[in-house]
Amino acid sequence: MNTSVQHAKIVKVNGTTSEQVDLLAVEEPMEIRLGYGPASHRQQSNISVTMRTPGHDFELALGFLYTEGIIHQYEEVESIHYCQDLGKKPSRENVVRIELSPEVQVDLRRLQRNFYTTSSCGVCGKTSIEAIETICPQSAAIPFTVAEDVIHQAPGILRKAQLVFEYTGGLHAAGLLNPQGQLLLWHEDVGRHNALDKLIGACLVQGQLPLQHSFVLLSGRVSFELVQKALMAGISMMAAVGAPSNLAVNLARQYDMTLLGFVRDRRFNIYSGHHRVTVKEKSV
C-alpha cells in the first residue's frame, strides 16, 4: 500500500456491529517554496500551502506554478526537491522547493488570490476573478470533436483506473483522454484542483503542453478555478461527472471552451462549445 491511503480501525454497523480495518484517503499539507532572481541576489518566497494527498508532489507544484502563470515552460525550472533542513522526514516531504532560472521574471502578485484557497474551495472575491482573467491565454481554434459514445464511456474508464478511490471512496480524479476515448494519463487527490494540477504538471514535464487535441474528465463538480487551470494548459474541452458553477460556465463561454456536466448514466449537459460534440440524433 502506498502513502495515499492509511489503515484505520472502525466499528462497522450493518444490522450487527463488528470491528474491522478500513482504508482512508490521506490528507496532509504541502508547502511550495520558490527560489528566484539573479544569481547575485536570490530570493525565496513561500507561495502556497495546500491540503493534498501525498504522491506526485513535484507534478502538483509544477502544475500549480504553470496554471498560475508563474512559469511558462519546464525549461524555466533549474531544480525541484524536498527541503532537507526541516528535521523529521514527514515534515521534510511536505515542503517542496522549486528553483527557477535566474532570467525568469517572477510576478508574485498573480498569487494574491491564493490566500483565499484551500484544497476544496476555489476562488473567492471580485479581485481574485479579475486576476485570473488577465492570465488566461486565448487558445487558437483547432478542429477537435468527440463522439457522444466516447463521452458516455469516459467516466467508467476513469473509475477503473482510480486505484486509491477503489480502496477508500475518498479521492477526486482528473483524467486526460484522446478523442477516441483512450485514457492517456490520470491523477488522484483529495483536492479537485490538486488532481488537475498534478495532471498538468506531469504533462509539462513530458513536454505535452498545450493539450489541444485531448479532453479532460473530472470526477466531481467544476469550479471557476478548474476551468481557468484547464485554459492555461490549452485544454479546449472539459467534462465532469458533477455540476459546473455559473462562473465556470461564463468563463468557458468567454474562451470558447466546451464544458460538459452531469456526465453519467448515459446522459450529459452541454453548457458551452457544443460544436465539439458529435451527437447521434435518434429517430422519432
CA 176 – CA 158 distance, rounded (Å): 9
For residue 55, is it left (φ>0), alpha (ψ between -120 and 50) or beta? left
| CA separation for the pair 231, 180 (Å, rounded) | 21
136 labelled catalytic: no
By the 10 Å C-beta count (0-12 exposed, 13-18 middle, 19+ buried), 27 is classed as: middle
Q: Vertex 276, ends 185 and 248: CA angle to 5°?
A: 75
Set of cell numbers at residue 42: 536570490
Distance CA 171, CA 149 (A): 26
Which of the following is catalytic: 83, 121, 124, 136?
121
The answer to whether 214 and 186 have CB atoms below 8 angstroms apart is no
Closest CA to 78 of 52, 104, 117: 104
CA distances from 215 to 27, 212, 233 (A): 27, 8, 11
- The catalytic residues are 121
